Amino acid sequence: MKTLSRGFLLIVIFYSAFSCAEKKDSSTKVVSVETMQKVYEEVKTPFKYGVVFQHPDTTKLIDSPTIFREDDRWLMTYIVFDGQGYETWLAESNDLLQWESKGKILSFTKDTWDANQKAGYVALVDYDWGGDYGVEKHDNRYWMTYLGGNTTGYEAGVLKIGLANTPDLTKVQPWSTNNRPILSPDDADTRWFENKTIYKSLVIKDSLGHTGHDYVMYYNAKGAGDFESIGMAVSNDMRSWKRFGKDPVITRKKGICGDAQIAKFNEVYIMFYFGAFWKPGAFERFACSYDLINWTDWEGPDLIAPSEPYDQKYAHKPWVIKWNDVVYHFYNAVGDQGRVIALASSKELRKH
């Protein structure tokens, strides 16, 4: 009888431990309402500073800031549309408020798959919230993914993801581009939500190995239904990529969810992204995750929404950092000053 009791007890203990493990595992796939609220309080930027950057040629449209730090100065890659397509430029700042354009780093080419579209986004930017925002190398070079295509016009034709690299992050010189796309809507493993065209991409390092791969790419794409969703791909060598999962990680199944940026706040990953047309206009949102794979969407107020003449049409395409205890939320503003880069902050900042 004692042996039976001991065996029964062991079974109960094993079952209880297994149940607790299962419960813990499933619970980490969803971020609680309380934690989401804490994240919102941490990242919100209620003070709109205004326009911080316009391209020297103000007749051209600019877009998609990627902001990082190198040699004790701030750098921004941004993209320029001039009617033909996208090219990528570099700007510099000492204080995050005043920016100066330095020159072009991805240009139009002839007779290539990406001849008329090269919209670049620097890879492996430090994503620790309040971190140093430096850029990590891979194979002793800096890397950038880019939206590429050969059709002229605004995001025209079938767009794919290209890969570029450089030995010097701060020098204004052409980045070396790969000779073929690394992800395409025409790939054999393309998924239902990305089989028409692919847009902006972001590559980060999966330092804790959540995905089982070294690098993770988030990108927005369009497929069945003609809406944009955010999906994932993974890589171990930066050059070869494979899709991860069957479905998008963020979607509303209408309008746009796009232009992901990742930050890590304590144990929580934050994905800043923009939404558009699943409610009026274009606006900034976020989601949270414990594993980079399963994301809980914020259901509260927009982080940024149109409210000023300079962003009255669209307030979208985020890059958000925390520096010296201030949250800086850069975004693409479309309004009475054209298409420009604007800033909102967690504390009121004075204009120079």
pLDDT tens, residue by residue, 212-263: 999 999 999 999 999 999 999 999 999 999 999 999 999 999 999 999 999 9
Among 132, 127, 65, CA closest to 268: 127
Residues 234, 211 contacting (CB under 8 angstroms) = yes
Cα first-last separation, the chain? 84
Per-residue model confidence (pLDDT) at position 14 = 36
Per-residue model confidence (pLDDT) at position 351 = 73
Give the pLDDT band of residue 352 (cuts 50, 70, 90).
low
Distance CA 275, CA 277 (A): 7
- Residue 7 in this model has a pLDDT that exceeds 80: no
| pTM for this entry | 0.91
Distance CA 292, CA 218 (A): 10
CATH class of the domain comprising 32-345: mainly beta
- Residue 149 in this model has a pLDDT that exceeds 50: yes
Distance CA 260, CA 64 (A): 11
User: Residue 81: CB partners within 8 Å, gap ≥ 6?
Assistant: 60, 61, 62, 63, 154, 339
- CA distances 282 to 25, 239, 333, Å, are 35, 33, 10
- Residue 52 in this model has a pLDDT that exceeds 50: yes
- Residue 75 in this model has a pLDDT that exceeds 60: yes
- CA distances 312 to 136, 162, 182, 320, 338, Å, are 36, 33, 36, 20, 10
Side-chain half-sphere CA neighbours of 315 within 13 A: 23
- Residue 11 in this model has a pLDDT that exceeds 70: no
Per-residue model confidence (pLDDT) at position 301 = 98
DSSP 309: G
| Domain residue limits, the chain | 1-30, 32-345
Per-residue model confidence (pLDDT) at position 27 = 47
DSSP 223: -
